[in-house]
Amino acid sequence: MSRTPLRILPTPEAIGEDLGERLLARIEQARLAGRRFVLGCPTGRTPRPIFSAMARRRAETGQDVGHLVLALMDEYLVPRGDALAHASAESPWSCHHFARHEIAGPLGVSDDAVWFPDPRDPAAYDARLADAGGIDFFLLASGASDGHVAFNPPGSPRDSRTRVIPLSEETRRDNLQTFPAFGTLDAVPHHGVSVGVDTIVSSRAASMVVWGAGKRLTLSRMLGTDRYDPSWPATLIHECAEREIVADAAAAAGLTREESI
């Protein structure tokens, strides 16, 4: 398997400008070809500079994004009666809230073009994505402490698809840092519905984004192999067809010369 390209940019803002411009170009190419563009989206700190740059550029240019679909990768689940249901979109830490206020709203994407997996029928999400022609591009982020991607914990099978997942304490602690509105670890939900490793790998292209000194471990773990290692889910990037890892200088500061080539 060929080595996954590594791009190192100075700051998170530089990553945002670079990826934001490239994504908008892909979205425009799809429009010119008369087809839909499905963008796989994470929530949280990592993609913020990218979505912010995209929204600003779109506002400046007036680019048409009426054919853009945002396929969110996961959502927290909370008890509702005898079942688990999506967290309220009014909760500031919910993925629905993030999608509405930090992705779809600023980009001008309508609510019906924002998709989430349904905990009542997780497999239907993979079917819906397939019916739409697949995910054109998946933006990815990695948990700092255990390498989780979406809610896929260490040990996730390579062939895993969308499913309800119990959240590990490591994932919950990472998410407490991502969404301080939780307040305490006890407030972080214990379950989520999430795309699987194979769901992500099936996308046409993917970019794994890591920035900040806190992501040095996950960057090193990803660069330490050239294939999927279930003990560190972020290594799934190596299985994607068109792929890259994008890091800022702070995340890349601890790399050896061999790793950074």
Distance CA 79, CA 259 (A): 44
Any idea how long the chain is?
Answer: 261
pLDDT of 257 over the 60 cut: no
Distance CA 243, CA 5 (A): 7
Tens digits of residue pLDDT in 52-102: 999 999 999 999 999 999 999 999 999 999 999 999 999 999 999 999 999
Bridge partner residues of 144 (DSSP): none
Tens digits of residue pLDDT in 129-138: 999 999 999 9
User: 186, 89, 207: which is closest to 140 by C-alpha?
Assistant: 207
User: 52, 39, 54: which is closest to 102 by C-alpha?
Assistant: 52
Alpha helices in 63-147 (DSSP H): 95-98, 105-107, 123-131
Tens digits of residue pLDDT in 178-208: 899 999 999 999 999 999 999 999 999 999 9
User: 253, 166, 167: which is closest to 213 by C-alpha?
Assistant: 253
Bridge partner residues of 141 (DSSP): 209
Residue 100 has what pLDDT? 98
Q: Which pTM was predicted?
A: 0.96
Alpha helices in 78-164 (DSSP H): 95-98, 105-107, 123-131
User: 48, 43, 160, 61: which is closest to 97 by C-alpha?
Assistant: 43
Class of the domain covering 6-248: alpha beta
**Strands 163-166 and 191-194: what pairing?**
antiparallel
Every domain of the chain and the residues it spans: 6-248
CB of 240 closer than 8 Å to CB of 206: yes
Residue with tokens 């809610």: 151
